[in-house]
Amino acid sequence: KADKNKNNNGSAEIKFNGIFNTSTGSGFGTNTLDPTAPQVVKVDDSGNYKVYDGNNNLLGVAPASSKGQNLMAAIESPLGGPKVYANPTQTPGYEFSITGSVAANDSFTLSYNKNGFADNANGLALAELQNKDLVRKSTNTGTSNDKMTFNEAYSGLVTGVGISTSQAKTLLKANEAKLTQSTNIFESVSGVSLEEEAANLIRFQQSYAASAQVVSTAKTIFDTLLSSVR
């Protein structure tokens, strides 16, 4: 955990940027920080950041121009000389920054949080799961690249559902069009138009009346012919 001295005159805060290595080469021991690992930061009169180990030995100095950012990568020994840590993610295995306004003689400390008090490490570890390759790909390629992250799996799932939904909607519209076309064809063949049937009834009625008139006329002519030969 990282703490600032309660007697600091500045308003700066210290925070971890990340823990990258806790095994070989790191500043971690068994449930503790190694005494030779960076543990204390003190601000000098020039605003430079002096970094000490647990035995109060000066490890290096980060110039004031660094503004306290990424101190493990910034500290030099001596000031203006070579970097103390070529790869802070390996040694000491962690990185931290001091952000805000500092004053001369302000100090900050790092310590191993044994009891987990006010520690969000579990939350950070849980959040980091989204970036780890923990999900097996549906198609095993037979190579080492056969896994993906939760983010990739979720994105693939959402994309797949979206594509399937879009295809289903398109298919539904096509089938609805076919149904409408088939219904129209069926109704054009077997459907009954009341107006058309009424017109046909009137036409048939008129034809029947005309035929009856022809029969009546023929009967009259026949009767006349019979009367003339009597």
Domain ranges of the chain: 2-117, 120-191, 195-230
191 CB neighbour count, 10 Å cutoff:
10
Evaluated on CA atoms 12, 13, 17, 19, the torsion sign reads positive
Please give the pLDDT value at position 124.
66
**pLDDT tens digits, residue range 138-166?**
766 566 677 888 888 888 889 999 999 99
60 closest CA partner among 23, 104, 92, 102: 92
Please give the pLDDT value at position 140.
61
Cis peptide before 82 (omega within 30 of 0): no
**pLDDT tens digits, residue range 73-104?**
999 999 999 999 999 999 999 999 999 999 99
Q: How confident is the model at residue 64 (pLDDT cuts 50, 70, 90)?
A: very high
Q: Is 118 left (phi over 0), alpha (psi -120 to 50) or beta?
A: left
pTM score = 0.52
